[in-house]
Structure 1
Amino acid sequence: MRRLSEERTKLVFAKLTKYIGDNLQRLIDRPDSVYCLREQKNRVYYMSEKILVLAETVSIDSLISAGTCIGKFTKTGKFLLHITALNLIVPYAQNKMWLKSTAEQQFLYGNNITKAGLGRITENVSQYEGVVIFSFNDLPLGFGVASKNTFDCKAADPMAVVCYHQADIGEYVRSENSLL
């Protein structure tokens, strides 16, 4: 596993900042240990430095992964967050949306969120800002990008899209079906 280049580190941090804002420092310097990002085969892994020391003892050919894979770089050089980053984003998320129970299943099938399915939204969400999606039971369902700011969401048509789907916990089930 190798360190991310400065350019790639900026891309990863920019994507994470979209969801957690100024809490990025808390994600790296945690009370239990210092965490770092490493790259292997265009995938970015988040792990403690203790795990990194252990992973360095294994040869590159034998190591499949270490830590949590939070995303990957595309062939065009963009960084995409995976659903596995959800557990890292949730404690530090600044913008949140809660779905009505009728809209949860549609979101978990990979569809965008309409105004009719929106239950609550945090104040001062800007357009095109990252949001974490929750059920009314505060179960994190995934994350997306707000298509409208908070004020426009309240005044929108019931069928207007208020959040673009990025990733959801239903991806595990959908990807397993494609493997069969």
Structure 2
Amino acid sequence: MRPLTEEETKVVLGKLSKYIGDNVKLLVDRPDGSYVFRLHKNRVFYVKEQIMRWATNVARKQMLSLGTCIGKFTHGGKFHLVITALDILAPHAKHKVWLKANSEQQFLYGHNVLKGGLGRITENTPTYQGVLVYSMNDTPLGFGVAAKSTQDCRHIDPGTTVVFNQADIGQYLRSEDQLS
């Protein structure tokens, strides 16, 4: 496990800021302790600094994971957030989308969110902004990218895509063998 390089840090924080904006600084400087990002086998982990120091006693080859995996780097150098980052993103999200009960299941099957299934959306959400997707009782279901802005959502048909699905909690079941 090693610290992120400056370039890797820019890429990771850039991706996180797409979903939580300026609240990225709240991830590192928290009142309950200091947290860090670490890279291990192309995966980026978010871990409390004290626990990371204790983990230095474990050999790198024997280390499987530490903290919460928030994403992974592809061979092309791009960074993809994974569903395990949902618990970290949810408390700090700036733009949110709530789904009606009848469209939650479709979203959890990996489909995009249609206007007909949209319960509500935060004001001033721009197009192609990262959004967190919630059920109507405020349970985080996943995250995606807004296909339409808040203003556009008021004037489109019910069959138009509003949010592109990036990750959802249904992935735990669909991709069970690939999550390790």
TM range (shorter): over 0.9
Corresponding residue for residue 16 of structure 2: 16
Partner of 1:111: 111
How far residue 177 of structure 1 moved from its aligned partner, in angstroms, is 7.3
* Per-residue deviation, 1:176: 2.8
The answer to whether residue 96 in structure 2 is matched with residue 102 in structure 1 is no
Residue matched to 1:124: 124
Alignment match, 2:44: 44
Structure 1 partner of 2:169:
169
Q: TM-score, normalised by structure 1?
A: 0.97
**How do residues 46-85 of structure 1 correspond to structure 2 at under 5 angstroms?**
46-85=46-85
User: 2:72 & 2:33 partners in 1: Cα distance?
Assistant: 24
Change (3 A) 1:178 1:33: closer
State how far apart, in whole Å, the 2-side matches of 1:30 and 1:23 are.
Answer: 11
Inter-CA distance 2–147: structure 2 relative to 1 (3 Å threshold): same
Unaligned runs of 5+ in 1: none
How far does residue 133 in structure 1 lie from its aligned partner after superposition?
0.3
Give the letter aligned to residue 32 of structure 1. D
**TM-score of the aligned structures, taking structure 2 as reference length:** 0.97
Please name the residue that 1:5 is paired with: 5
* Identity score, percent: 57
Structure 2 match to 1:159: 159
Structure 1 distance, partners of 2:178, 2:14, is 31
**CA-atom RMSD, angstroms?**
1.2
Gaps of 5+ in 2: none
How far apart, CA to CA, are the structure 2 residues paired with 1:61 and 1:163?
Answer: 40
- Deviation beyond 2 Å, 4+ runs, structure 1: 176-179
Tell me by how many angstroms 1:156 deviates: 1.0
Measure the CA separation in 2 of the matches of 1:156 and 1:16.
Answer: 29
Residue identity opposite 2:58 in structure 1: V
